[in-house]
Chains A and B, each alone.
Chain A
């Protein structure tokens, strides 16, 4: 419900505001006053949002995710990808992501996904590693395959 969502939102910001203001009390001089004032303002604004929702919030549901399962799947796979980027290497983990995410979301044309993944990863390699020479996480499999890694 919109009312409950806004009450929760307001209270979260009240919590942030109080925590920030309280932490700022340990900083000396003006370097502490400024974040403390901001913390207090955040608390007041959060409180206003929550109070306003209590007084006249709508009971109509506000949709937080159109298809929660797909959203959670995408977030979960993105988190796994971020966790694997360093241990597996950028190109290996990215290539796996290019195949795994569409298929998990219901894309059933494996060859199409593979071709797009190969083309896209080649472009990324040429742009970032060859043209721009950006340092990216090293490939874990490269030494096993006889490359420099």
Chain B
């Protein structure tokens, strides 16, 4: 408790507080603009946080993350265009409500549900994170190695539609992570005689390219020359019926639980949490047929579910170094920028910083209540009048300034551009990008751990499998990788039986 009191006193100072308020508003704005997403925004933000206090930098990440998850509901409700992938389920009942003249009510429900989901999720992070971190006190190099491999395998298998391509992406990330001077032997690897490669490829440069350029190119392809008209964004106020808000409480409780569960699972994202919560609300309803026709419970379930995923996805990221989703991977990158090693030792070495970040996740969720109201929503909705084609150069400029200030090297701009073009095509051929970044983050930890474990055991590789925790993690990794294969065999057998 003392740990959180100290973290709270650090967070409630001028700069972290200002960063949380500003970034929550920025997050709502980003979420409200289709084409922009929290991953892109955080990737653009990270290079600018190098010189900042880590708590201020993490406050901005927390604000953008929570704010944008709610912001995505604005175009989902008003236009049936999900602002973020996690708000697809919000369109099912949000847009029919807007169609019936209840847009303002739907936006209020989305705002409150997002805030509730985010708050419950942050409380889960604050209670479960330290407990999980305590288990890691028993970990040695062999366990750290398997944690890194398990994290990459699970994200590789679960993100995207093709597990083999997911694992291939993770291995590519691991290989990119080996570029530069080997920290244990001091020899240069894959540097091609270039001195600028001695430090390896900068994670943030690759990350900005991979995550920010593909959406920019898609915006250019879409070529929106007009933006929306004022009439399309008109809102009318509709009052709540007596007991209507109270009737949402069971949905909030159910969806928060689902969101937290999905968030803890590596690889599953806010969109899955929203869909599962929506389906659960529909199944629990006395009137399931009203779903999809403007039922407020549908909006509440989807928004509460996708925001409850946010902080929960940080539980494995902070305690084990395994990010639950791409934003969690970006948080790990933010920690790396500030010289902190993501992984099991983080809680033990930097408890106040980790505690501060958890507090920031809680406070930015509370801020959605205050800042995401109807007035703010009306203001943010107006940004959709801006033609999308004008956003393309604006984002490109922000990408370049962000990347250039890291090392002041023009070559980084070219690396970013190449990474972005590669990312654009890799996504088109179903190769997920998250495992590449995860491989780059966890690769050094995996390599150093396996080499330390082998040094301790004097080259005996069985050391990696004979300790109980490492053996369990190894089995879990094998099962995780084999699971899609088992599923495919089962499906084949079922099909054969059916045909007989």
A38 partner residues in chain B, CB cutoff 8 A: 171, 174-175, 178
Q: A64-B425, A134-B401 are in contact. Are A71 and B185 (CB under 8 A)?
A: no
Count class of interface residues, chain A: 35 or more
Q: Does A124 contact B (CB under 8 A)?
A: yes
A76 to chain B, nearest CB (A): 11
A132 touches B408 (CB 8 A): no
- List residues 414-445 of chain B with CB under 8 A from any CB of chain A: 414, 417, 421, 424-425, 428-429, 431
B171 touches A35 (CB 8 A): no
Q: A63-B428, A82-B413 are in contact. Are A45 and B447 (CB under 8 A)?
A: no
A81 partner residues in chain B, CB cutoff 8 A: 396, 400
A35 touches B172 (CB 8 A): no
User: 1/0 contact trace for B450-481 toward A, CB 8 Å?
Assistant: 11001000000000000000000000000000
A70 touches B172 (CB 8 A): no
Q: Does B237 contact A (CB under 8 A)?
A: no
Q: Which of B164, B222, B421, B429 contacts A75 (CB 8 A)?
A: B421
B486 partner residues in chain A, CB cutoff 8 A: none
A113 partner residues in chain B, CB cutoff 8 A: 390
Count class of interface residues, chain B: 35 or more
B228 to chain A, nearest CB (A): 15
Q: Roughly how many angstroms separate A118 CA and B4 CA in the complex, as a whole number?
A: 45
User: 1/0 contact trace for A104-122 toward B, CB 8 Å?
Assistant: 0111100011001000100
B410 touches A30 (CB 8 A): no
Q: Roughly how many angstroms separate A81 CA and B454 CA in the complex, as a whole number?
A: 49
Closest to A43 in B: B171
A29 to chain B, nearest CB (A): 6
User: 1/0 contact trace for A122-149 toward B, CB 8 Å?
Assistant: 0010001000101111000000000000
B397 touches A124 (CB 8 A): yes
Q: Does B165 contact A (CB under 8 A)?
A: yes
Q: A35-B189, A106-B223 are in contact. Are A64 and B428 (CB under 8 A)?
A: yes
A82 touches B401 (CB 8 A): no
Q: Roughly how many angstroms separate A94 CA and B400 CA in the complex, as a whole number?
A: 9
- List residues 63-88 of chain A with CB under 8 A from any CB of chain B: 63-67, 70-71, 73-75, 78-79, 81-82, 85-86
Q: Does A11 contact B (CB under 8 A)?
A: no
User: 1/0 contact trace for A88-106 toward B, CB 8 Å?
Assistant: 0010001001101110011
A105 touches B451 (CB 8 A): no
Q: Roughly how many angstroms separate A46 CA and B216 CA in the complex, as a whole number?
A: 28
Q: Roughly how many angstroms separate A31 CA and B185 CA in the complex, as a whole number?
A: 6
User: 1/0 contact trace for A19-33 toward B, CB 8 Å?
Assistant: 010011001111110
- List residues 189-218 of chain B with CB under 8 A from any CB of chain A: 189-190, 213, 216-218
- List residues 210-240 of chain B with CB under 8 A from any CB of chain A: 213, 216-218, 220-223, 225
Closest to B430 in A: A62
Q: What is A's interface to B at a CB cutoff of 8 Å?
A: 5-6, 9, 13, 16, 20, 23-24, 27-32, 34-35, 38-39, 41-42, 45-46, 48-49, 52, 62-67, 70-71, 73-75, 78-79, 81-82, 85-86, 90, 94, 97-98, 100-102, 105-108, 112-113, 116, 120, 124, 128, 132, 134-137
Q: What is B's interface to A at a CB cutoff of 8 Å?
A: 48, 51, 164-165, 167-168, 171-172, 174-175, 178, 182, 184-185, 187, 189-190, 213, 216-218, 220-223, 225, 386-387, 389-390, 392-394, 396-398, 400-401, 404-405, 408, 410, 413-414, 417, 421, 424-425, 428-429, 431, 447, 450-451, 454
- 6 residue pairs of the A-B complex, CB under 8 angstroms, read A24-B189, A74-B216, A75-B217, A97-B393, A102-B389, A120-B397
